[in-house]
Amino acid sequence: MSAAPIIEIHDLHFSYEKRKILNGVSLSIPRGSKVAVLGASGCGKSTLLKLIMGQLQPERGRVLVDGEDVHALDNDDLYRLRRKMGVMFQVSGLFSDLSTFENVAFPMREHTDLPEAMIRDLVLMKLHAVGLRGARQLMPGELSGGMERRVALARATALDPMLLLYDEPFAGLDPISLNVIARLLRRLSDALDTSSIVVTYDVSESLKVVDYVYFLADGRIVAEGPSQEIIHSRDPFVHQFLHAQPEGPVHFHYHAQDLETDLGMQATAR
């Protein structure tokens, strides 16, 4: 019998006040899989991660992580479940007053009773895995954007989590740093034998590191499939997104009334 999915999402709805963000999202992520959720900026990708982590409450629907209903848990059980997750935040989220070493050591000290000597060795191994063992005394303000993301990645894997969540890990990176981060995501996920979810709008890099892709638009999953099959998809949304075409199901302009009306002008017939 196959193992139960690491994540199951059923008919998930969420709004920010009157603005509908998710409108019936359903998906299932097998254990050990590497999955990307792709979509345009503002489509609800980061919101979906926050719902998986229990940071937000849905209007309706269920999120099961490791078989547990996230939004039915009390605070103690939610924090217990979160200790099984590693998160790489969109803006890295490093503690600005702590060194690189101390940032990676923080979750170990917070959630374990390991002796300092063991924490030191583990931190150095985590930093070595991302190529920054020699930068352990640097402060976040002394790091480049790519280095900062690598420290955030080391911290996300500090407790060898069962689930890694990456929120726009490629945003704002130069081509070299972007390629390095993409390779690290895949290598560390494989080495830890963990499940991974990458939410991003970067198609080319995400397809290098995941096995399966979901496309999110208009609050729903509009397409999905194995990464190698998605590349050849003729689905209008997928084709527009993969080829960065301006015309298609995804509209550049946010819904608004006519420009002439907004400007107080009377449209004239020609």
**Confidence at residue 269, expressed as pLDDT on a 0 to 100 scale:** 46
Q: What one-letter code names the amino acid at 125?
A: M
User: Is 168 among the domain residues?
Assistant: no
**Confidence at residue 270, expressed as pLDDT on a 0 to 100 scale:** 46
What average pLDDT does the segment 154-160 reach? Answer: 92
Q: Over the stretch 250-260, which tens digit does the pLDDT of each residue have?
A: 666 666 777 77
At 8, list the tokens.
């199951």
**Confidence at residue 254, expressed as pLDDT on a 0 to 100 scale:** 66
**Could you list the residue range(s) of the whole structural domain that residue 150 is in?**
88-160
User: Is 238 among the domain residues?
Assistant: no
User: Is 115 among the domain residues?
Assistant: yes
User: Is 48 among the domain residues?
Assistant: no
CA distance 88 to 214: 19
Number of domains, the chain: 1
Beta bridge pairs of residue 223? 215
Give the CA distances from residue 62 to residues 65, 67, 166, 218, in Å, rounded to whole numbers and listed in that order. Answer: 10, 11, 21, 19
User: Is 147 among the domain residues?
Assistant: yes
Q: Over the stretch 192-222, which tens digit does the pLDDT of each residue have?
A: 888 999 998 777 778 878 999 999 988 999 8
At 127, list the tokens.
């930093």
CA distance 87 to 89: 6
The length of the chain is: 270
User: Is 49 among the domain residues?
Assistant: no
